Chain A
Amino acid sequence: MKKLLLTTSLALLALTGAAQAEGKLSIYHWFEYIPQELLDKFAKEYDVEVTMDTYDSNEALLAALKAGKLGSYDVAVPGDYMVKILNNEGMLDTFEPSDLSNFGSIQDQWVDVSFDPGRKSSIPYQWGSTSFSVNRDVYKGPIDSLSVIFDPPEELKGKINVLDTAGETLTLASLYLGIPQCTSDRDQLKALNKLVIDAKKDWASFGSDVAKDVLVSGDAAAGMIWSGFSAKARSEGANIEYAFPKEGYIVWMDNVVLLKDAPNRENALKFMNFLLEPENAAAVTNYAQYTSGVKGVDPFLDPAVKNSPESNPPEGPKGVFVEACPQETQVLYDAIWTNLKK
């Protein structure tokens, strides 16, 4: 009797396991970056059970994959430089353009990108910028320079939040100083070190996932922030203005990648194809308030999002991608960051 029970339950277990595995998709995504309705729509259209875990930085994604999560997720959404790193680490699988019927919908300038030439493992998700926003009730002066963050005016001292990621914060600091990224020049690095240490006494807090919240609540009067996050803060009632500083700002593109050893490769490709449909890409943009890299989304866009100042950079200031530094220089930037927070 006991044996019979055991075999039946094992058989049942195997059956249910198999039945579920056929219709599953496991997503590893940024927090607050895809509307639940869109996931539901995909689940319904393709009869797939969708599960999603979230992370809060590109580095956290890499760490999780390295620590053994590779093989449990089908797709992830790394930023530009992280696509390259994941690829170098051998964590990405490839597909053929013919695997995605909507491959042609990718905007031309986003097909042959430096971090994944010819789009062999990734498709564009959203792109945007990283700069800073200022509460206009508190500070009415000019915000055309990164000095607002790194050498702040009196009104903003002690009321600034900076992103809690070395990559973005130190890149903006480098832009302010006009030094190249990933430099190994000693004087330049010393200047960078001094700049951030001197500026820190005027900063109230470090935080990435709270970057929007602190501006809405008034805990901070200025803060480094991602463009869409700033637009959201504005729509939540903060009287803030997003800056495109003359020294330059960070541009980035997040991409849906096909992970190596994806348990549900077919569904992953269906999902990527689904996200390339203009209507669905627009749904993400309307939610996250960044810009999609897909053709033909305009008719589906919320006008407020389409015309938001955050998504329409003025002529002049230049956006740059964050570079992935080689090991010898990365350790120097890490040392500066630890030194800053010791």
Chain B
Amino acid sequence: MAAGAPMGEGSASNIYRGNSLKLMLPAWAMIGVFLLAPVAMMAIYSFLTKEFRGGVIWQFSTAAYDQFFFNRGLFGDEPPTIEWTYIGIFWRSIWQAGVATIACLLIGFPTAWFIATRDAKTRSVWLFLVTVPYWVNLLIRTVSMKFLIRDTGPLNEFLLWSGTISEPLGLINTNFAVQLGLFYSYLPFMVLPIYAAVERYDFALSEAAADLYAGVWTTLRLVILPEVKPGIVAGCILVFVPSLGAFLAPDLLGGAKTFMIGSLIEEQFKGAAGNWPFGAAASTILLTIVMAVLLVYARNQNRGA
């Protein structure tokens, strides 16, 4: 994306030549210790035998994946059929995260556009204002949202008082509340990358388009969007991926009535089930899905470039 000065070429690199491996060491150590090792451990655990009430026995087993994909009835003695329970939970999570991402895009794009088109001085104030709520812990923000939209909360009280509605809206403990929570939690992750892209956009292109008799929508579709696309894609990934694994919003705003991917995995480690390999398997499957989506995206990007 950012085509900066070509690093690793020219005179500066000569000083580092021969030391490059050593200099890479901290980066590799970081990636190895904090990224690869945990993921590898997760993948290994998903193929181990579960120990009752948490923990694993070091013995190879595919039971966790079997449980994920095949249904053998409550007592485990029926012929296997496809298990829709967990696929359904994954699908619901993907749907919720998708709705939140689209909502973030619909609100985030105009917001970013608005900020990027202010003059340089006020821009930083607007950006500052976008980030202010995010100095507060996510849990606190989610609980605050709950206070706001609950049946006895300020929103309903105001609407009732003003006569707009005659009964509370009943927002709390619904899918809508979860989507609202996710949307609110991750909005800045959409605004900031799009802002960065729009800020680099050359507005002379819009003028050129107008000179060529392109209407507002045509300009947006054919000129602006292709230019700021990297920002939009980055924003969508940054909102979608954490929304997919979220469990605070479903628990606090959705009433924890249905498992989302995050709470399903949490239950395997913290609940009575204590099925670590299954939790690890569900995490591995989730990671695979996210990786696949990102790889497809990366390939399309390369082809486009």
Contact = CB atoms under 8 A, between A and B. Distances in A.
Given A200-B257, A327-B52, A60 B89 contact: no
Contact of A189 (B74, B85, B151): B74
B272 A342 contact: no
A206 B256 contact: yes
Interface residues of A, number: 40
Chain B interface size range: 20 to 34
B172 interface: yes
Nearest to B150: A219
Majority SS at the chain B contact face: loop
B259 A164 contact: no
Interface stretch (A16-24, A275-283, A328-336): A328-336
Majority SS at the chain A contact face: helix
A66 B273 contact: no
Nearest to B75: A186
A11 interface: no
B215 interface: no
A167 interface: yes
Contact of A166 (B54, B150, B257, B272): B272
Given A207-B255, A342-B89, A330 B74 contact: no
B151 A219 contact: yes
Nearest to A206: B256
A337 interface: yes
A222 to B, nearest CB: 14
A204 interface: yes
A165 B272 contact: yes
B74 A338 contact: no
Interface in B33-68: 52-55
Interface string A266-281: 0000000000000000
A342 B54 contact: no
A107 interface: no
B257 A335 contact: no
B256 A336 contact: no
Contacts of B274: 59, 62-63, 66
Contact of B273 (A89, A203, A337): A337
Interface in B63-101: 74-75, 85-86, 88-89
A153 interface: no
4 nearest CB pairs, A to B: A205-B255, A206-B256, A334-B273, A327-B52
8 contacts: A57-B270, A59-B271, A167-B272, A205-B173, A218-B150, A218-B151, A218-B152, A219-B173
Interface of B: 52-55, 74-75, 85-86, 88-89, 150-152, 172-173, 251-252, 255-259, 264, 267, 269-275
